[in-house]
Structure 1
Amino acid sequence: MFLPFAAGYYLSYLFRTINTLIAGRLTSDLGLGAADIGLLTSIYFLIVMAVQIPIGMCLDRFGPRRVQSTLLGVAAAGAALFGLSTGILSLLVGRAMIGLGTAAALMSGLKIIVLWFPRERMALLNGFMIMLGSLGAVTATAPAEVLLDGIGWRGLFEALAAVTALAGILIYLVVPERSTGALPSTKPATLKTICSDARFWRIAPLSATCIGSAWALQSLWAAPWLDDVERLDRTSLVDELFAMALTLSLSALLLGLLANWMRRRGKTTEALFAVVAVMLIGAELVLILHPPWLSLLPWYAVSVAASATALTYAIIGDYFPTELVARANGALNVLQFGWAFIVQYGTGLILEQWPLQAGHYPLIAYQIAFGVNVLLQLATLVCFAVPWFGGLKGRVGPLVARQGTGRWSSDEVIVPAAEVVILETDEDKAW
């Protein structure tokens, strides 16, 4: 049950990140510019975003086995078309078909986890799923470079088409069915249930701007940055992309283990996700400031943030019943993939506002593009942390007032503290 869906997610991650490796070849073979490459790569995220809600509904109704096996057939056809393309239009159509065909890869895997495994293990298993899937990003670096040297980007996509079709057949033949059951009639399974939940809208913007940005940067703009700003040669660049992808895979497992450890001790994973968001913003600020040393460490931090779905999907799984989990994850993915599209395409548009200098875009172009992104991430981080600020104020306020009177006793300290605990619990329930 688990491994066939992990294979499907592996292929989706490979397709998502392969363009950062072949962008130079597409530019030289077909004469594409930065905006063309940005649009071609980001159309994947746009299509995935557009179909997340209907796919979530199909997963809840028809089950992951039938949905995923069918869609992987579409992805295989898209990969075949991409490999045969001679212009931007056919490339866009092929890439869009790949996006549609792999749009359910992660959600179907998460649905399998919800159906077959206990909830207290969801964060850990999500981490395993994302770790195995993100090995596709590892494959899309040095291993794929070897294949590119041997069979070219066209031959690579024809091979991927065959493997993807085989994965779809495997899922259909091997994975058993399991009914999700039905929600009680007093709580209909509608999208309104998700969109009206304040907890969802607290975490979704931060998740979108951070995880979506990390996806967009790692799957496309990391390579141009290392080429234009750091001036790495091709071998060094591919090696760094490989290290970033390996960091992504290992950090997914690590975050899953940390989340599982926290949940077993009765703690939520929201704080851990906030730490990852702060780390990503700090890494992007380092890239923007560009100190006089190689920017490899910040790019590794971006890779860690790209794996934080191991946390957010587990958090969403705690918010909603089993019958709504796929739709809730789909709604979250709409925002994450939508933001990834905006960052990938928007970065390309911003870069083209500056002329090439000896075949490279200047540092200031990247600084402007990344700076706009960081400002929006900071805004969503503040919104996410507002309830914590309120809880801290509730703890500190009564104690400060007591301190100002100069009268301290055990009763005067203990009673207000107990009152604060009650207020905090009510606040948490509201969220």
Structure 2
Amino acid sequence: MTAPEKSKARAGRQTAVSLPARAWVSWGAAALTYVIAIFNRGSLGVAGPMATDRLGVGATALSSFAAVQLAVFAATQVPVGLLVDRHGPRTMLTTSLAVMAAGQTMVASSHSFALVLTGRALLGCGDAMVMISVLRLIASWFPAARTPVLAQVTVVVGTAGGLAAAPPLSAALRAFGWEPVFFSVALITACMTAGVWLTVRNTPDGHAPSAVRGPSPESLRTALSEAWRQPTTAVGLWLMFTVHFPVQVFVLLWGYPFLTHGQGVSAATASYLIAVPLVVTMVLGPVFGVISGRRPQWRLPLVLAITGATTVTWAVVLLWPGTHAPLALLFLLAVVLGLGNPAAVFGLDIARSGSPSHRIGAASGIANIGGYTAALLAMMLIGAALDHGQGAATTPDLMDFRVAMATQITLQVVGVSLLWRSRSRLRK
């Protein structure tokens, strides 16, 4: 560790000692915001069949809900990163909750495909502001040695929102219906805005928040350009592109229809299988955080191993002879997919480690684009393949799903190639 890094670590430890309560309160409120964001993000995963009936749409249109949400998420990552660096996490987290509440209200109230699509776009916009804001908050309040673990713990805490968006949300939708459930979600999201504004602080007392500096538009462009020139930013982007999208595709949209329509699994069992990757994230997230902080050289080999395991497991499930794969194999698939969530945070750790403090938001935003762009492409490919193979049938069959889900392997091959290329440039 260099002298400046040692000085920075000592300063972080002193901050943690002098203001431990404020640091943890600010992080706790930010992490709770992430819980709500993950719940809103995954709220369509088990509601897909109900959305099809309510709006009268097919597989491609259904995939467009998640695709538009992820497209907006990916497109706003860089602007959000720059705005977080400029205005601070407190303002951005509060704004994110207000935007998500508005989007969920549109989803709850509308029978129109266009309005529900707009609502999902707003959800993607609000969701985009959260994780980068939390990472910036952690970097401001805690020593550098703790940031990888706290980033993973944030993901673990946020996973509770994903779990709530699986079996509990599925049961609530069956019991109460579309409008009561989604209006309730919108109300809870809106009520959180006041709590975040009152409890979150951008930096420890005595340190001017970055909002005070108020950089000009030119300096924002410079920050973006300089963040992209850092080789670690490209490595983080392609790492997330490669390892993060399979679990998102499974949890957010196509896992539930694949299990119920393609594998003949009951709705209740399917909702529990969708929750398995989230449990894996909660269990292994802190472990991956320790690895990232103490053994950074393990990150890339671990990501490549997880990518290979994902490809092999999907291949076994899709090529299983007969009609349906065994439930144990589907469970194994869900477990392997779950490894992609904590592994993806390696990309944010790498991007953040190579950037100065005033560009952490920009670098994190660029890296975060990777996973969500790949998820967007995968969801659209699967939806188009299902509609093409389905023909006149009302629902896709097992063979349709086999062909459609296999399209993910192409994206993984592309991701590994680009990740290896960016890693080679970093070494040079």
| TM-score, length basis structure 2 | 0.83
Structure 2 residue aligned with 1:150, among 175, 181, 184?
175
Aligned to 1:122: 147
In 2, are the aligned partners of 1:354 and 1:362 still within 8 Å (CA)?
no
2:245 & 2:54 partners in 1: Cα distance?
A: 29
1:32 & 1:363 partners in 2: Cα distance?
A: 20
Q: CA deviation at 1:285?
A: 2.5
Aligned to 1:288: 318
2:398 & 2:100 partners in 1: Cα distance?
A: 36
In 1, are the aligned partners of 2:239 and 2:344 still within 8 Å (CA)?
no
2:167 & 2:422 partners in 1: Cα distance?
A: 44
Aligned to 1:272: 302
Q: CA deviation at 1:170?
A: 1.1
1:51 & 1:296 partners in 2: Cα distance?
A: 34
In 1, are the aligned partners of 2:235 and 2:351 still within 8 Å (CA)?
no
In 1, are the aligned partners of 2:103 and 2:120 still within 8 Å (CA)?
yes
Aligned partner letter, 1:246: V
In 1, are the aligned partners of 2:247 and 2:277 still within 8 Å (CA)?
no
Structure 2 residue aligned with 1:306, among 333, 338, 341?
341
Structure 1 residue aligned with 2:364, among 318, 323, 329?
329
In 2, are the aligned partners of 1:4 and 1:167 still within 8 Å (CA)?
no
- CA deviations over 1:202-227 (Å, ceiling 9, x no partner): 44224213313321222111111111
Aligned to 1:415: none
In 1, are the aligned partners of 2:232 and 2:350 still within 8 Å (CA)?
no
Q: Equivalent residue of 2:191, what SS?
A: helix
Aligned partner letter, 2:336: A
2:71 & 2:373 partners in 1: Cα distance?
A: 6
2:33 & 2:144 partners in 1: Cα distance?
A: 23
Aligned to 2:8: none
In 2, are the aligned partners of 1:60 and 1:180 still within 8 Å (CA)?
no
Structure 2 residue aligned with 1:341, among 373, 376, 400?
376
Aligned to 2:16: none
Structure 2 residue aligned with 1:225, among 258, 272, 278?
258
Aligned partner letter, 1:328: A
1:363 aligns with 2:422: no
1:168 aligns with 2:193: yes
Structure 2 residue aligned with 1:23, among 30, 36, 48?
48
Name whichever of 173-182 and 99-108 sits farther off.
173-182
Alpha-carbon distance change, 278 to 194 in structure 1, aligned in 2, over 3 angstroms: farther
1:67 & 1:19 partners in 2: Cα distance?
A: 24
Aligned partner letter, 2:315: L
In 2, are the aligned partners of 1:43 and 1:92 still within 8 Å (CA)?
yes
Alpha-carbon distance change, 270 to 224 in structure 1, aligned in 2, over 3 angstroms: same
Aligned partner letter, 1:225: F
1:379 & 1:201 partners in 2: Cα distance?
A: 15
1:354 aligns with 2:389: yes
Alpha-carbon distance change, 177 to 106 in structure 1, aligned in 2, over 3 angstroms: closer
Structure 2 residue aligned with 1:260, among 274, 278, 293?
293
1:7 & 1:238 partners in 2: Cα distance?
A: 23
Q: CA deviation at 1:310?
A: 2.5
In 2, are the aligned partners of 1:248 and 1:306 still within 8 Å (CA)?
yes
- CA deviations over 1:16-73 (Å, ceiling 9, x no partner): 1121211111122222211111001221101111111111111000001011102211
- CA deviations over 1:334-372 (Å, ceiling 9, x no partner): 232222112112211111111269754233333333333
- CA deviations over 1:251-282 (Å, ceiling 9, x no partner): 3233223333425xxx4533333333333233
Structure 1 residue aligned with 2:282, among 249, 258, 261?
249
Q: How many residues align?
A: 389
1:235 aligns with 2:268: yes
Q: Give the unaligned 5+ runs of structure 2.
A: 1-25
Q: CA deviation at 1:128?
A: 0.2
In 1, are the aligned partners of 2:132 and 2:364 still within 8 Å (CA)?
yes
Structure 2 residue aligned with 1:57, among 74, 82, 90?
82
Q: CA deviation at 1:387?
A: 8.4
User: Residues 122-141 of structure 1 correspond to what in structure 2 (within 5 A)?
Assistant: 122-141=147-166
In 2, are the aligned partners of 1:132 and 1:249 still within 8 Å (CA)?
yes
In 2, are the aligned partners of 1:75 and 1:97 still within 8 Å (CA)?
yes
Q: CA deviation at 1:297?
A: 0.7
1:14 & 1:354 partners in 2: Cα distance?
A: 32
Q: Give the unaligned 5+ runs of structure 1.
A: 391-426
Aligned to 1:93: 118
Name whichever of 62-71 and 237-246 sits farther off.
237-246
Name whichever of 70-79 and 304-313 sits farther off.
304-313
State the percentage of identical aligned residues: 21
Alpha-carbon distance change, 4 to 187 in structure 1, aligned in 2, over 3 angstroms: closer
In 2, are the aligned partners of 1:283 and 1:299 still within 8 Å (CA)?
no
In 2, are the aligned partners of 1:79 and 1:160 still within 8 Å (CA)?
yes
| TM-score, length basis structure 1 | 0.83
1:297 & 1:350 partners in 2: Cα distance?
A: 25
In 1, are the aligned partners of 2:390 and 2:400 still within 8 Å (CA)?
no
Aligned partner letter, 1:345: M
Alpha-carbon distance change, 196 to 323 in structure 1, aligned in 2, over 3 angstroms: same
Aligned to 2:138: 113
Q: Equivalent residue of 1:269, what SS?
A: helix
For the pair shown, the structure with the greater C-alpha radius of gyration is 1
Q: CA deviation at 1:180?
A: 5.3
Q: CA deviation at 1:230?
A: 1.5
Q: CA deviation at 1:378?
A: 2.1
Aligned to 2:6: none
Name whichever of 67-76 and 127-136 sits farther off.
67-76
Q: Equivalent residue of 2:257, what SS?
A: helix
Q: Alpha carbon RMSD of aligned pairs, Å?
A: 2.6
